[in-house]
Amino acid sequence: MAGGRTTPSSSLDGLLATKEIVIACGPGGVGKTTTAAAAAVMAAVRHGSKVLVLTIDPAKRLADALGLDGIGNTEHRVPDEAFRAAGLKPRGQLWAAMLDTKESWDELIRRQAPDKQTRDEILANPLYQNIAGRFVQSHDYIAMERLYEIHSEGDYDLIVVDTPPTRNALDFLDAPQRMADFFSSRLLRWLIVPYRSRLVNVATKPFYNVADRILGTEFLGDISEFFILFQSMYDGFVERSESVGRLLSDRRTTFVVVSTLEAVPLREAEFFAEQLTSRHLHLGAIVLNKVLPDYLRGAEGTATAESVKEHADALAAQLAPELGAIDPALGDADQISRVLTEVADSYLNFQVVALREMEERAMLSVVPDVLATVPFFDTDLFDLAGLVRLGEEIWE
């Protein structure tokens, strides 16, 4: 199978062979996670690379896609037996990890805190715990931070990253810069002034009064404590955020936008592709998933379907004796006519959708060097063999 094959010169394959980070992005529900997993599996099977697939999506999709339960924050190797069981011979290694936001934040704090006391105080701060654990936006930054961390450790030849849906994906692109801005902000220092020295400037007093009334002194106190503690890590944080931002625009990083050819997701994918281009990020490929088969688009098929529909009764009358000879229960002409009509109708129905898909594809506003079309699979792909099947469709 795929294991022994020489690398074809398709450029999508080339991306996996040459880039160090592949970020799969796009709207939800288009098979992004599966595509990311397929890319990672293909790289492990074909190139003999040591590959990590990292999902940052809050839902546990990657575990589903790889048929593995309970992949945690730490990287786990997909066992070679799993490949063998799927009839594959991995030349490299496949590793998988899922982002646990809370755990990743804690790790980051442990690494960055100047001393043990600051570390413990931050970890115990109620505001910190909420940011780290409860609210989803903090995924965006920490995901990129984690990617940066793993990449800088240099353990893997290739890291394939799965991302949350598009608009969030934009958030995660902005996250490093936002984080840097945030910690550089004068406002931050201003906000925590009254808690460092109780001497409040007359001019700013009304502001604190209002802030107090809205948030409550205790909450404001927690916020201030949090930021005062965080300030000790300020330089490190800003520097890191900037490095994370640089990594995304590095030549070793490429983005693969995944979509289907349905109107709404496709608009989102286009929006994302445009954003990547305008930010000078590398748009490596667009992968169009779940595309209906070609045979639905033939003009001849339309004519035949319409003819079958029109002459269903006559056709059924002719076929009734033949089918009846196989099994008397099948020889009912009315029933045969209904089946023929249903077949023709169904073809015409799906054709409407298939033609619309092609129209959408033709009208794509951003066309990268690689535009892959993946057919609709009649079953869900959630094991290694399925991922390779998908991978081969993308790569061939």
Partner 1 sequence: MSDLLGLKLVFVTGKGGVGKTTVASALALFASTRGKRVLICEVDAKGDVAGFYEAPPTGFNEREILPGLFAMTMDTEASLREYLKLHLRIPVVGRIGPLAKAFDFVATAAPGVREILTVGKLCYEVRERTYDLVVVDAPAAGHIVGQLAAPQAINDLVKVGLIRGQTDWMLEILSDPGQTGLVAVCTPEEMPVNETIELAVRVREETTVQLSAVVVNRVLPELFGRQEEQVFDALSGTVPEERLDQLAGGDVGPLLDAARLAVTMRRTRSTHLDRLRASIDESVPMLYLPYLFTRSHGLRTTRQVAASLGEELGF
| Binding to partner 1, residues 192-231 (CB under 8 A) | 206-207, 210-219, 222-223, 226-227
CA 47 to chain centre: 22
> Who contacts 355 (Cβ-Cβ below 8 Å, separation ≥6)?
297
**Token pair belonging to 342:** 């249903």
Size of the site for partner 1 (CB under 8 A): 94
Chain Cα centroid distance, residue 178: 21
* Pair 292, 301: CB distance under 8 Å: no
Q: How far is the CB of 378 from partner 1 (least distance, A)?
A: 4
Report how far residue 345's alpha carbon sits from residue 1's, in angstroms, rounded to the nearest whole number. 39
270-309 positions binding partner 1, by CB under 8 A: 293, 295-296, 298, 300-301, 303-305, 307-308
Question: In this chain, which of 68, 82, 281, 330 binds partner 1, going by CB under 8 A?
Answer: 330
Residues 127-186 that bind partner 1 (CB under 8 A): 127, 130-131, 134-138, 164-165, 167, 178, 182, 185
**Other CB atoms within 10 Å distance of the CB of residue 139:** 24
- Cβ neighbours of residue 14 closer than 8 Å, sequence gap 6 or more: none
Residue 39 vs 340, nearer CB to partner 1: 340
Minimum separation from the CB atom of position 184 to partner 1 (A): 12
Give the number of other Cβ atoms within 10 Å of residue 36's Cβ: 29
Which residues from 75-104 bind partner 1, rule CB under 8 A?
none
Residue 106 neighbours by CB distance under 10 Å: 19
Query: 335 to 354, contacts with partner 1 by CB under 8 A?
Result: 335-336, 338-340, 342-344, 346-347, 349-353
Please, what is the minimum distance in Å from the beta carbon of residue 91 to partner 1?
A: 29
Show contacts with partner 1 in window 367-386 (CB under 8 A). Answer: 376, 378-380, 382
Q: Mark residues 1-40: x for contact with partner 1 by CB under 8 A, - for none.
A: --------------------------xxxx--x-------
Phi, psi of 254 (to 5 degrees): -135, 155
Which of 81, 300 has the CB closer to partner 1? 300
Provide the minimum distance between the beta carbon of 361 and partner 1 in the complex, in angstroms, as a whole number: 15
Q: Which residues neighbour 116 within 8 Å (Cβ) at sequence distance 6 or greater?
A: none
